[in-house]
Structure 1
Amino acid sequence: MRGPRASRWLLAAPMALLALATVYPLVFTANVAMKTRNDYILDRFSPARPPHGDNLVTAWTSADMGRYFVNSLVVVPVSVALLLLIGSMAGFALSHLRFRGSRMLFLGCLAALFVPFQVIMVPLARMMAESGLMDTYPGLILAYVAQFLPFTVFLMTSYYTGVPGEIVDAARIDGSTLYGVYRRVMLPMGRPALLSVGILDTLFCWNDVLIALLMMPSPEHRTLMTGVTSLRGQYTDNIPAFAAGVLIAALPVLLIYLFFQRQIAAGITAGSTKG
C-alpha cells in the first residue's frame, strides 16, 4: 500500500506546484486590479481591502479597452470561421482524395508549422502594404488565416484519416458529389475535431500580439492584446490600472478554457494519430 501511495504523492506534488505557479499570477493580477494606486505602493502583496472596481472602469473607458475588445470580436470570429472552412475542406481532400501532389502538399503544410512568423513578417507586411490591406480588418484576417492554416489543416487531415474510406465510397455510390460528401458526411463526423481546433484557433488569434501589432499600426484598429501592451507605457505609474487591462483581456480566454478544457485537450492530441 505504501508503494502506490508514495508514487501518487510523487506525481501529485509536482502537479500541485505547477498548478499553483499557473494560478498565482492570475490571482495576483486580479488582486492588484482591485487596489488603489496608493494601496499598491504601500503593500503590493496584501489582499485588497476593500476591493475597488474603479480601475476596471478606467481601463475600459479611458484606455479605450472597449474599442479594442470590439476590434477583436470583429477579427477573431471571422478568422476562425475561415480557418475551419478551409481547413476542413483541405483535411477532407488530403485524407480521402488521391490526386497528384497530395502527399507533398500535406508535407508542405507540416513543414510550414516549423516556420516562425518572424521569418515571413517583413515580406508579409510588404505584400499587404502593396495590396492596400495594411491597417484593415481584412488584412489582419488574411494574416491570421495564413499563419494558423497549416496547423488547422494538419489536425483536420489527421482526424479525417481515421474516418473509414468505405463511408466516402458508399456516399459516392449513392450519388453524392464531392461537395455533398463533405457537407453531409465529413462535416457532421468531424464536429468534435472542428470544435477542438476552433477553440485552439480562437485562443491563438485572441492572444496574438505580434501579427496584430504589425498589421494594425493605427491606435483605433488595435486588437485587445495589443491594446494591453500599450497600457504598459500609458499607465507606467498606475500599475493597478494596467493590471485591470490585463484582467479584462484574460477573462474571455479564461472562460473559454474553463468551459472547453476537455475539447482543448482533445484538440492538442487530435494530430497524434498517424496521418
Structure 2
Amino acid sequence: MSRPGPGRWLVAVPMGLLAMATVYPLLFTANVAMKTRREYILDRFSLASTLRWDNLSTAWNSVGMGRYFLNSVIVVACAVALLLLIGSMAGFALAQVRFRGSSALALVCLTALFIPFQVIMVPLARIMADGGLIDTYPGLVLAYVAQFLPFTVFLLTSYYRAVPTELVDAARIDGNTLYGVYRRIMLPMGAPALLSVGILDALFCWNDVLISLLMMPSADHRTLMVGITSLRGQYSADIPTFAAGVLIAGLPVLVTYLFLQRQIADGVTAGATKG
C-alpha cells in the first residue's frame, strides 16, 4: 500500500482545517444550546454536563420560533414554486424559441444579476406599499421572486441551451404546441437542473434577512432569520436560549445539504455534460 505523497498532504491539510472551521461553530452552538445559563457563564467552552432540551422547547414555544418557522416554510415554498415555474418557462423560451429581441432580453436578465438589492430597495418598498402588499405573504413572495428570478433564469437558460434543438423541432413536427414541448420534453429533461436551482433558491430565501425585514415589519409575520435577530436582542443575557434558536434555524439547511448534496452537484453539472 503506497504512502500518500507530499502533494496530497498539501491539499488534505488545508481542506481538513477548512472543514474543522466550518463544523466547529455548529458543534459549539449545539453544545451551548444544551447548557443552563449558569453552566455557560462559568465555562462557555466546556461540554454540557447533560443533554437538556429545555432551551429548544423554550425557543420553539415561548419565544415564538415555531411561528417564525412556519412563516418561513410558507413563504419559501411559494417563492420557490413561482421561481421554478417562471424561470423554467423563461429559460426554455430564451434558449430554444426564436423570437425578436431574445438576445437583448437574455442580456437584461444577465445584467439584473449585478444589481444589488439595496439599489432597488426603496422603489420596491414604495411599490409594495402602494399595492397594499407590505406585511403580507404575497408581498414577500413577490419580493423574493423579483430578487432571485434573474439568477434562476440565467441557470435554466444555460441548461436548456445544451438540449439539442432537434428534439424541439421533432416535437413541433409531431403537432405539439410550445406549451406541449415545454411540458412533455423540457420539464422532464430539466428535472436535475430544476432540483438544483430550487434548492439554491430555497436556501437564498431561507437565509434572507434584509428583504424579509423590509417587507414584514410586524412580529406575527416575521420569518425565521428575522426572528433570530430579534431573539438576540431580547435574550442577550440568556445565550443558551439564543443558541437554541440559532440551532433551530440552521438545522433545516444542514439536513437539506446532507440529504441532497449529490442532487445539487448533479444538477449543477448536468447542463455542462449534456449535449
The TM tier, using the shorter chain, reads over 0.9
> Normalising to structure 1: TM-score of the pair?
0.96
User: How many matched pairs?
Assistant: 274
- Alpha-carbon offset, residue 216 of structure 1: 0.1
How far apart, in 2, do the equivalents of 1:4 and 1:103 lie?
50
- Alpha-carbon offset, residue 270 of structure 1: 6.1
Rate the CA distance shift 1:89–1:252 in 2: closer, same or farther, 3 A.
same
How far apart, in 2, do the equivalents of 1:86 and 1:235 lie?
41
Q: Name the SS of the counterpart of 2:5 in structure 1.
A: helix
Correspondences of 1:1-275 after superposition (within 5 Å): 5-268=5-268
* 8 Å Cα contact 1:87-1:152 kept in structure 2: yes
* 8 Å Cα contact 2:160-2:271 kept in structure 1: no
How far apart, in 2, do the equivalents of 1:236 and 1:201 lie?
31
Percent identity over paired residues: 75
Render the CA deviation track for 1:107-138: whole Å, top value 9, x for unaligned. Answer: 11111111111111111111100110011000
How far apart, in 2, do the equivalents of 1:258 and 1:4 lie?
28
* 8 Å Cα contact 1:154-1:271 kept in structure 2: no
Q: Name the SS of the counterpart of 2:176 in structure 1.
A: coil
Q: Name the SS of the counterpart of 1:260 in structure 2.
A: helix
* 8 Å Cα contact 1:128-1:139 kept in structure 2: yes
- Alpha-carbon offset, residue 266 of structure 1: 4.0
- Alpha-carbon offset, residue 100 of structure 1: 1.1
Rate the CA distance shift 1:166–1:268 in 2: closer, same or farther, 3 A.
closer
How far apart, in 1, do the equivalents of 2:143 and 2:215 lie?
8
How far apart, in 1, do the equivalents of 2:263 and 2:197 lie?
8
* 8 Å Cα contact 2:193-2:271 kept in structure 1: no
- Alpha-carbon offset, residue 264 of structure 1: 2.5
* 8 Å Cα contact 1:208-1:225 kept in structure 2: yes
- Alpha-carbon offset, residue 5 of structure 1: 1.2
> Normalising to structure 2: TM-score of the pair?
0.96
Q: Name the SS of the counterpart of 1:14 in structure 2.
A: helix
How far apart, in 1, do the equivalents of 2:44 and 2:111 lie?
46
RMSD over aligned CA atoms reads: 1.7
- Alpha-carbon offset, residue 73 of structure 1: 1.3
Q: Name the SS of the counterpart of 2:217 in structure 1.
A: coil
How far apart, in 1, do the equivalents of 2:266 and 2:228 lie?
30
Render the CA deviation track for 1:124-176: whole Å, top value 9, x for unaligned. Answer: 11110011001100000000000000000000000000000000000000000
* 8 Å Cα contact 2:209-2:225 kept in structure 1: yes
One-letter code aligned to 1:29: T
How far apart, in 1, do the equivalents of 2:231 and 2:169 lie?
56
